[in-house]
Structure 1
């Protein structure tokens, strides 16, 4: 079942609109917190600053995003909340559908559900589950999840899931999937309501990811869903400090096979001894004063990216800089 047509048109990469109000609706802020009260306050503060979309990740050491969103919904009125992402292997799609339906009841029209297979070191090394055929598994997962949420009933028999269930009502929560390499972007075009990238250089997104996304959509005879591009932002005019913070943020990912192959596909491989890390960091981080950052974010959207998923890279004071970034995004009107 395709992404709702009006939403595709709203976030179309072919749009030439550069008005600030439109731009603000296309920029989401990543909220990171290990304490529930602090996370809820950050979401409420982001809404007060004018931010229209926040995103939160889900991993073993983090809070449960959907539970947190349900609580945050009672402290906010309109900000959209998205998961980027909920790993698929540890959580059955029917369970996730029940959670999403509950959040949707509390905050109608405000949830965007990003899911993905995560990575073998996490799924096998932490959860002790098999991480096999991630794209095939993800395709079946989304089929079950969409049937449960959008149709209210599931009768699915595949290689990974055999599910027969009925939910009390429906909710057309947008279902997005994570994507790093071309196969995943093509799958996103075929089955999802959006592709969420992570640490993908912009030229790679424009030259390889977007064509794959659109090819997948065309093959499935549907409109291309939006590409949500992950962008690192450092609010500092000190280039060395910004780059140093970015290197520390991304170094872990260079050892993960999926990311290492994507970086190589993007022409920015990182060797085991760290060679290439500086060039990769330069390609990923937006830095400067507020005016410079606004200009660079605006230019990224003008190049053809549908939405931005902005992650702060703190340089001096994380709390102060997050509030500053929220005001910056919220002020783009």
Structure 2
């Protein structure tokens, strides 16, 4: 998600979120993030803004508007006046995509939690969870949602090689490359869950023990391995709900 300060993006986003939240019976989780400079500038032709300041200003508008309040806001990059009418619709849960320390703290302060990607259980426990929970002090316990690449496979080396090839370009984005460097990862494959069903289930337990409240699984690998991956995690989700 990228934003342009004078185009009413917080209002449009709030209207879409509240409409979807109502239509789905209150089951929406709204996830936002500042994207990356190469994407914002090259793909959308917009001006890249300092991400923490820009995101804070977006949240300063979006949070009250989602609660049904009118705002009058003039920041350094965001200007907004007005509100969104959605009578009887409660605000959806709001997650902020975050990897660096300042964005993680912002997720704890102004969102309902963080959505992080390509992290290891150790880094999650030592850096991500403490940053978010400390900033959320006095508020409801934050959600820590982790996006994970996973492949239930008999060819672990092949899965790792495929991930490092397929995600090589994404790993060069400054936010992701900085995260990989901070946690000592040599590439995206270092964060891949790969192995048989028992190994994958054990890896999930490591993330839960590290403080993850929810996982978003991205199946990767050969088609048959992706089927195994989806089947395993669907079964695990059913067991968890049961």
Task: Pick 1 or 2: higher relative contact order, CA cutoff 8 A, min separation 6.
Answer: 1
Write the deviation string for residues 212-250 of structure 1: whole angstroms up to 9, x where unpaired.
Answer: 1122223xx424411111211101022212212221243
1:233 alignment partner, SS class: strand
Unaligned runs of 5+ in 2: none
Cα RMSD for the two superposed structures? 2.2
Please state how far the C-alpha of 1:153 moved relative to its aligned partner.
2.7
Between the aligned partners of 2:180 and 2:113, the Cα distance in structure 1 is 21
Please state how far the C-alpha of 1:207 moved relative to its aligned partner.
1.0
Partner residue of 1:227 out of 129, 135, 144: 144
Partner residue of 2:80 out of 162, 172, 185: 162
1:207 alignment partner, SS class: helix
TM-score, normalised on structure 1?
Answer: 0.65
Which residue in 2 is equivalent to 1:306? 213
Distance 1:208 1:319, change over 3 A: closer
- Kindly indicate whether the alpha-carbon contact (under 8 Å) linking 1:150 and 1:173 is maintained by their aligned counterparts in 2: no
Which residue in 2 is equivalent to 1:58? none
Alignment of 1:21-60 (within 5 A): none
Please state how far the C-alpha of 1:127 moved relative to its aligned partner.
0.7
Between the aligned partners of 1:253 and 1:97, the Cα distance in structure 2 is 28
- Kindly indicate whether the alpha-carbon contact (under 8 Å) linking 2:98 and 2:115 is maintained by their aligned counterparts in 1: yes
Partner residue of 1:151 out of 42, 63, 68: 68
Partner residue of 2:14 out of 97, 101, 110: 97
1:251 alignment partner, SS class: coil
2:67 alignment partner, SS class: helix
Which residue in 1 is equivalent to 2:133? 214
Please state how far the C-alpha of 1:318 moved relative to its aligned partner.
6.8
Please state how far the C-alpha of 1:291 moved relative to its aligned partner.
3.0
Alignment: residue pair count: 236
Please state how far the C-alpha of 1:305 moved relative to its aligned partner.
1.9
Unaligned runs of 5+ in 1: 1-85, 269-275
Which residue in 2 is equivalent to 1:201? 120
- Kindly indicate whether the alpha-carbon contact (under 8 Å) linking 1:199 and 1:284 is maintained by their aligned counterparts in 2: yes
Partner residue of 1:138 out of 32, 38, 55: 55
Distance 1:208 1:91, change over 3 A: farther
Distance 1:262 1:319, change over 3 A: closer
- Kindly indicate whether the alpha-carbon contact (under 8 Å) linking 1:148 and 1:154 is maintained by their aligned counterparts in 2: yes
Which residue in 1 is equivalent to 2:204? 297
